[in-house]
Amino acid sequence: MPTQNATRAKSANIHIRIAPEKREMIDRAAHALGKTRSE
């Protein structure tokens, strides 16, 4: 899925700029959104 790969690439870029605590929170949110889109 090209869109999923693009999303992960963007997330990786964002993660570099944010604190580890927020990174974990965003990771969880991203997974939740990914599951919602898949279903």
- Would you state the torsion angle of the CA atoms of residues 34, 18, 20, 13, taken in this order, to the nearest 10 degrees? 50
- For residue 26, the model assigns a pLDDT of 84
Q: pLDDT tens for residues 1-39?
A: 456 677 766 666 665 666 788 888 888 988 888 877 665
Q: Could you tell me the residue ranges of all domains in the chain?
A: 2-38
- For residue 38, the model assigns a pLDDT of 62
- For residue 23, the model assigns a pLDDT of 80
- For residue 34, the model assigns a pLDDT of 83
- For residue 2, the model assigns a pLDDT of 59
* List of residues 6+ apart from 34 with CB closer than 8 A: 4, 7
- For residue 30, the model assigns a pLDDT of 86
